[in-house]
């Protein structure tokens, strides 16, 4: 899959020397591309095989097959061809790298699954550690609307989230996709009064009913629907 660029050149041609400098600059920019210099007159059989009749001439190879050619000292065109062919020449990501990218995407999706997400041991109704239980009690006491994820249900998420957020323990509370912290941080926010300004509030039943009743000039609460 790698791209190889071969420069057929001659030491007596000043334009070839200039294009070698261009190639050196491109080599620094495109580390995945291999750049080769061949003195055309020193390898006549190779030059003849590829029809090299003048210098400089550039041949482009992928998978050992010639895919393009450039005759003459045209630095902008050489740069464009290298960029175009190199775009599809990057080595395939390893399975481990692909798995890591998938996990990162999944963690981002979970963190943003609700405005306020709690990653805990167990569930709000059945916490499976004292710290998670205290966290749920604090959030409930402040009428915080939150969703939760049981880290015991998925070991990949449990371990991955520690690295993703650089936070080694649970529970972890996120608001709008941002890590707020663990139990100690939440206790500090509660004590300072900041918790009520950070976390979204659950709508009270009375407010919800008022909203429903006033949804239209005439509202019918019924069993079933109009159809």
**DSSP string for residues in 31-66:** TTSEEEEEEGGG-HHHHHHTT--SSSEEEEEETTEE
Mean pLDDT of 46-55: 92
Q: Please state whether 176 falls in left (phi above 0), alpha (psi between -120 and 50) or beta.
A: left
Q: Name the more confident of 203 and 60.
A: 60
Supply the pLDDT for residue 4: 95
Helices (H), the chain: 14-29, 44-49, 75-87, 95-111, 130-141, 155-165, 183-192, 195-198, 205-213
Quick one: tokens of 9? 């050149």
pTM equals 0.53
CATH 3.40.30.10 domain range(s) in the chain: 3-92, 113-212
104 touches 92 (CB < 8 A):
no
Is it the case that residue 91 has pLDDT exceeding 80? no
Q: What is the pLDDT of residues 130-165, one digit of tens each?
A: 999 999 999 999 999 999 999 999 999 999 999 999
User: What burial class does residue 96 get, using C-beta atoms within 10 Å of its C-beta: 0-12 exposed, 13-18 middle, 19+ buried?
Assistant: exposed
Across the strands, what pairs with 109? Answer: none
Contacts of 91 by beta carbon, 8 Å cutoff, 6+ apart: 1, 2, 32
Whether residue 171 is preceded by a cis peptide bond, meaning omega within 30 degrees of 0, is yes
Long-range contacts of 22-31 (CB under 8 A, 24+ apart): 22/75, 22/78, 22/79, 23/78, 26/78, 26/79, 26/82, 30/3, 30/82, 30/83, 30/86
Tokens standing for 159? 């371990």
Is the CATH code 3.40.30.10 the one for domain 113-212? Answer: yes
Confidence (pLDDT) at 92: 55
Q: What is the pLDDT of residues 98-130, one digit of tens each?
A: 888 889 999 999 999 999 999 999 999 999 999
Domain 3-92 has CATH 3.40.50.300: no
64, pLDDT greater than 90: no
Residue 88: per-residue pLDDT? 67
Instruction: Return the percentage of the chain with pLDDT > 90, whole number.
Output: 79
Reply yes or no on whether the pLDDT at 63 is more than 90: no
């Amino acid at each position: 899959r790698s791209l190889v660029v071969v420069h057929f050149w001659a030491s007596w041609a000043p334009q070839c020397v200039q294009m070698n400098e261009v190639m050196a600059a491109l080599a620094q920019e495109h580390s995945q591309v291999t750049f080769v210099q061949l003195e055309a007159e020193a390898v006549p059989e190779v030059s003849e095989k590829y029809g090299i009749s003048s210098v400089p001439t550039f041949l482009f190879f992928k998978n050992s097959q010639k895919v393009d050619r450039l005759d003459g000292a045209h630095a902008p065109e050489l740069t464009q061809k290298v960029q175009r062919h190199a775009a599809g020449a990057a080595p395939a990501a390893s399975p481990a790298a692909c798995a890591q990218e998938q996990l990162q995407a999944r963690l981002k999706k979970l963190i943003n699954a609700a405005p306020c997400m709690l990653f805990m041991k167990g569930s709000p109704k059945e916490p499976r550690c004292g710290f998670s239980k205290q966290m749920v009690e604090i959030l409930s006491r402040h009428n915080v609307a939150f969703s939760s994820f049981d880290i015991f249900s998925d070991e990949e998420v449990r371990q991955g989230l520690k690295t993703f957020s650089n936070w080694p323990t649970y529970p972890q509370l996120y608001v709008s996709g941002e890590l707020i912290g663990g139990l100690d941080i939440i206790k500090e926010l509660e004590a300072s009064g900041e918790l009520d300004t950070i976390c979204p509030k659950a709508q009270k039943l009375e407010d919800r009913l008022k909203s429903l009743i006033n949804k239209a000039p005439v509202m019918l609460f019924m069993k079933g629907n109009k159809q």
